[in-house]
Amino acid sequence: MTTPETNRSKENTVSLSYPMLTKVNYTAWSLKMKVFMQAHGVWEAIEPKDPKETVEERTDKLVLAAIYQGIPKDPLSLAENKSAKEAWDAIKAVCLGPDKVKKARAQTLKGEFESLNMKETEQLDELYMKLNGLVTNIRALGEKVEETYVVKKMLRAIPSKFLQIASTIEQFGNLEIMSVEEVIGSLKAHEERLRGQTEVNERKLLLTKEEWRKRECIEGHILLTQKEWLNRTNRDGARSSGEMS
């Protein structure tokens, strides 16, 4: 007989399918694996809260099984790794290469990060995705990237139309505790205001053009009336001259 507690337990159970590692997706793969194992409550086998504590054998085997599920073939090459942590580190070393290679790659990504600027035709979300992708890849290589560093870079990367709000954020915001999402929110709000002002100005311009057309019509009508008056005057003058003769 099932109890309400059992039903709730079943409802709260989430079946997760681990992602498959390829030659080019290690960063995304490792991030997803981490989140999935955290959801199962076994991530501590890879990153224990207390390094002095020994990981339970069952937990370690569960993580090792998850790792094997996420690699496409030849899991026997990891058989010599006795623990999930060793297997995880071995995959990382194979995918990212030696430390010198990782550092060189990290420097390249940091250069791309520093040189990145938002184009006038781009949206804020596009800038955010590019910055976030670079930061994720840099961190995957073992390099630390502080949130403050990313926030300051974002404020430097935006075009001149955001200069006013960027200056306000730098002067009155606490960049040391501000998140990238908060900055994006402020920039988007400013962008909406700019868009609203542009629409108002465009409506005013259209109205001005319409008024100008009306004025041209009125002036044209006045000129036409003056011409008709002159013609009429000339006709009357000619008629009077004929009668006198």
**Terminal Cα-to-Cα distance of the chain (whole angstroms):** 129
pLDDT one-digit tens code per residue, 143-160:
899 999 999 999 999 998
pTM of the model: 0.56
The whole-angstrom separation of Cα 170 and Cα 62 is 47
Place of tokens 């990238």: 180
pLDDT one-digit tens code per residue, 163-219:
888 888 888 888 888 888 999 888 888 888 766 655 555 555 555 656 656 655 555
Residue 22 clears pLDDT 70, i.e. is over it: yes
Buried b (16+ CB within 10 A) or exposed e, 107-118: eebbeebeeeeb
**Mean pLDDT of all residues belonging to the chain:** 79
Find out whether 29 and 19 touch, Cβ atoms under 8 Å: yes
Residue 223 clears pLDDT 70, i.e. is over it: no
Cα separation values, 192 from 27, 29, 99, 144, 203, Å? 34, 36, 45, 34, 17
pLDDT one-digit tens code per residue, 119-146:
988 889 999 999 999 999 998 888 899 9
Query: What pLDDT was estimated at residue 75?
Result: 55
If you average pLDDT over residues 26-50, what whole number do you get?
A: 91
